[in-house]
Amino acid sequence: MTAPRLEIHLDKIYHNARELVTRLAKHRISITGVTKATLGSVEIADTLIRAGVSSLGDSRIENIKALRLSQNNKLHNHYLQKDMAMMLIRSPMLSQVQQVVKYANISCNTEMEVIKHLSLEACQQKRLHQILLMVELGDLREGIMPEDIIDTVRDVLKLPNIRFKGIGSNLACRSGVSPSATNMATLSALAERIEKEFDLTIDMVSGGNSANLEWALQNKTNDRGRINNLRLGEAILLGRETLHRKAIDGLHTDAITLVAEVIESKQKPSQATGEIAQTAFGETTATIDRGMVNQAILAIGRQDIDPDGLQASAGIDILDASSDHLIVESFKTTLRVGEELRFQLNYSALLRAMTSPFVSEVYI
Ligand SMILES: *Cc1c(COP(=O)(O)O)cnc(C)c1O
C-alpha cells in the first residue's frame, strides 16, 4: 500500500461523534461537526452527518465548496444532503463573499463591513444568508466586544437577505482562556439581553469548540444556560478534550493513524561529528554520546507533519525531522528498509498530514 498514508477508521469517528451527540443532547446542545482538520473530507463529513451532527463547519470556504459540490455525486455519499447546513466558522474575506453566500448558509462574523457585503451579495444571488455574531470573551482572537453587540445586532437586523442566527464565542485558541461557568454565563446573558432589546428569539448560541466539553459535560450542575450548540472537530477526530488533551471517556483516540516507510536503517553514532552550527531549520541541537544506536529514516518530514505532534509506538523514539526525513531510534530491533511504522497524531500533525499532497488517505 502507498506510504505515507493516514488510515482513517470511519467506524471509530462515527462512534465518537455519535457519543458526543448523545451526551450533549441531554443538555439540549447540538453539534456543528468541524471538518477543517480533514481538508473538508467528504467521507468524514458524511460520517458526522450520519452520527447526527446538526450542521457542518469549516474555516475555509474552499472546503465547504468541495463538500457542497460533492453532494451532486450520489455515488460518494447519500447523507450529505443538498440542504445540509454548512457554517463558515472563520470571518469571511471580503474577496470571497460571493462564494460564501453561494456555498455556506451560515457564517461567523465580527465586522459590519463584511456583513453588508454578504447582504449585497445575497440580494444579488437571491439567497438568504445567516449570520452568527462572534463575541470576544477574553481569549482575544475573533469577536465583537460585548459592549458593542447590541448596536451590531441592530445593524444586522436592518440588512436585506440576511438572517440573524445568533451569537457565539471561541475560547482556548489564542490565549488558552478556559470556557467556564462565568464566561458561558456572560454569553447566555448577552443572548437574553439581545432577545429582550429586539423582541426576538435567538436560534443559536454557540458556546465554543472542543475545549468547551469539560464545561458542557460536567455533572456539578445541569445549567448550561442558553448555550445550545458547540462546534467540535478535535474531540470527534482524536477523542480528546483540548484543555488538558485528556482522552474522553468512552471515545476512541486512535481513529486516525499515520503510516510511514523506512528508507534507511543503520547503526550510527548517537552524537554528530564535526563543528556544530544551525540545522536546516535554524535550530541547534545538543546530543549526549550514548554510543552506537539503531537509527532509521522514514520518508516523511516537516512538509507533511509536525514532528512534535507524533507519537511512535513503544520501542521507537523520534529524534529529529527535516523537510522530508523523519529520524527515529529503535531500541529493540533493527528496522528493515521498506518496513512501515505507525504513529498517533495530535491536531497539529493531523492538520499538516491532511493538507500534504504527499500523504494519502485510506478510509477503513
Ligand atoms: C477550529 C475551530 C473550531 C473547532 O475546534 P476544535 O478544537 O477542533 O473542536 C470551532 N470554532 C472555531 C471558530 C474554530 O476555528
Answer whether residue 7 shows pLDDT above 90: yes
Q: Report pLDDT for 60.
A: 97
**Average of per-residue pLDDT values in the chain:** 93
Q: For residue 232, how far is its CA from the centre of ligand 1 (angstroms)? A: 6
Task: State how far the Cα of 298 lies from the Cα of 329, in Å rounded to an integer.
Answer: 11
Q: Residues with beta carbon inside 6 Å of ligand 1?
A: 34, 36, 59, 89, 170, 209-210, 231-235, 242
Residue of 90, 173, 240 best suited for mutating to test ligand 1, as the one with most atoms within 8 Å of CB = 173
Which ranges in 51-180 belong to alpha helices (H)?
61-70, 97-103, 112-125, 149-158
Structural contact between residues 121 and 165, judged by C-beta atoms closer than 8 angstroms: no
Q: For residue 188, how far is its CA from the centre of ligand 1 (angstroms)? A: 20
Q: Identify the active-site residue in 36, 74, 158, 246.
A: 36
Q: For residue 171, how far is its CA from the centre of ligand 1 (angstroms)? A: 9
Name the residue with the closest Cα to ligand 1, atom 7. Answer: 210
Q: Where residue 224 falls among pLDDT bands split at 50, 70, 90? A: very high
Q: Report pLDDT for 73.
A: 64
Q: Report pLDDT for 97.
A: 98
Pairing label, strands 30-34, 229-232: parallel
When comparing pLDDT for 34 and 276, which is higher? 34
> Which atom of ligand 1 approaches the CA of 59 most closely?
15
* Counts for the chain of helices (H) and strands (E), in that order: 10, 16
Strand (E) or helix (H) holding 257: strand 256-269
**Partners of 250 in the beta sheet?**
none
Query: Which of 45-59, 80-94, 216-230, 282-296 comes out lowest in average pLDDT?
Result: 282-296
Tens-digit pLDDT profile for residues 132-188: 999 999 999 999 999 999 999 999 999 999 999 999 999 998 888 999 999 999 999
Cis peptide before 179 (omega within 30 of 0): no
Q: Report pLDDT for 76.
A: 53
Instruction: Give me the torsion for CA of 343, 349, 355, 361, rounded to 10°.
Output: 20
Q: Where residue 82 falls among pLDDT bands split at 50, 70, 90? A: low
pTM of the predicted model, to two decimals? Answer: 0.93
Annotated catalytic, 36? yes
Name the residue with the closest Cα to ligand 1, atom 13. Answer: 89
Reported as half-sphere exposure (CB side, CA atoms, 13 A), residue 13 has a value of 27
Q: For residue 202, how far is its CA from the centre of ligand 1 (angstroms)? A: 22
Answer whether residue 56 shows pLDDT above 60: yes
Residue of 171, 209, 215 best suited for mutating to test ligand 1, as the one with most atoms within 8 Å of CB = 209
Mean pLDDT along residues 307-319:
95
Q: Report pLDDT for 348.
A: 92
Answer whether residue 72 shows pLDDT above 80: no
Task: State how far the Cα of 282 lies from the Cα of 290, in Å rounded to an integer.
Answer: 24
Q: Report pLDDT for 74.
A: 56
Mean pLDDT along residues 80-109:
93
At 180, give phi and psi (nearest 5°).
-140, 170
